Homo-oligomer: A and B are copies of this chain.
Amino acid sequence: MKFEAIAVENIPLIHPGDDLPSIICMNMELQDRDIVIVASTVVAKSEGEVFRLEDITPEEMALEIAARSEKDARFIQAVLSRSREVLIEKPFMLVTTLEGHTCVNAGIDESNIEDGFLLYPPKNPDVSASRLGKELERLSGKKLSVIVTDTNGRAFKIGQTGAAIGIYKIKPVKRWIGEKDLFGKILEITEEAVADELAGAANLLMGEGAGGIPAVVIRGLDNYCEEDISIKEIYRPEEQDIIKKGLRCLQKKS
């Protein structure tokens, strides 16, 4: 049992309107059941999610947070425009996005784009993954899964890992409910977050700096799935999220 992770090389700098599926197909011969993993930065660029900092007018909440945290109020406004809750204000802004993803700065990026511009994440990463996946399937004639990924920090540890923010034809979580362990005991609910593990695996080739590889194919696993699925099933239901309750508790204190 094995799998390969293959970098899709020679992808040029992507601009709004670029045909990302064609560019990927020109640089990689896809096979049935390949999992095509694409960095959200290039998806967002191709979708034109680029905004000028100077066009953003900070509103009251952004100005208040800026005063407390000494950050650029326009950047904070951008983050708030894509968020439904602020969990931590400083030293970094941890938010839950409109899409339900909890991450720093709502995934808005000041790097890997010209000065004075901000790159927002794709508005609906599942839709982006689906659009990309359908076109890749049409161009290649193969059954494909797609994962759109970002890099995120995590609780209790330093460092970032690749994380899935949008999916197409792959279950985000593999469930081992009711299967037996090595001793014949029925396993309690075990849920393996395969979409995030795949995102992390791809990130080992993607790199964060100038050597960036924005797309990776993972080949040899059997995760292809015809169902209509959303990455949102991976987000912990609010009422079960003790860590969010802890962060709100802290905010009330301060």
Contacts and interface: CB of A to CB of B under 8 A. Distances in A.
A176 B212 CA distance: 12
Contact of A208 (B113, B187, B221): B187
Given A180-B209, A243-B155, A160 B115 contact: no
B210 A204 contact: no
B158 A193 contact: yes
B5 A2 contact: yes
Interface in A167-207: 172-173, 176, 179-183, 185, 187-188, 190-194, 196-198, 200-201, 203-205, 207
Contacts of A193: 154, 157-161
Contacts of A246: 243, 245-250
Copies of this protein in the complex? 2
Given A200-B197, A246-B249, A250-B249, A234 B185 contact: no
Given A4-B4, A192-B208, A111 B160 contact: no
A159 B234 contact: yes
A88 B212 contact: no
A151 interface: yes
Contacts of A249: 246, 249-250, 253
Interface residues of A, number: 73
Nearest to A157: B234
Interface string A226-241: 0000000111100001
A102 B157 CA distance: 9
A233 to B, nearest CB: 8
Interface of A: 1-7, 9, 13, 88, 96, 102, 111-115, 151, 154-162, 172-173, 176, 179-183, 185, 187-188, 190-194, 196-198, 200-201, 203-205, 207-210, 212-213, 221, 233-236, 241-250, 253
Given A157-B236, A182-B212, 14 more contacts: A2-B4, A5-B5, A111-B185, A112-B181, A151-B192, A154-B155, A158-B236, A161-B200, A179-B209, A192-B208, A194-B204, A197-B204, A249-B249, A249-B253
Q: Please name the 5 residue pairs, one residue from A and one from B, whose CB atoms are nearest each other, closest first.
A: A246-B246, A159-B193, A197-B200, A201-B201, A155-B155
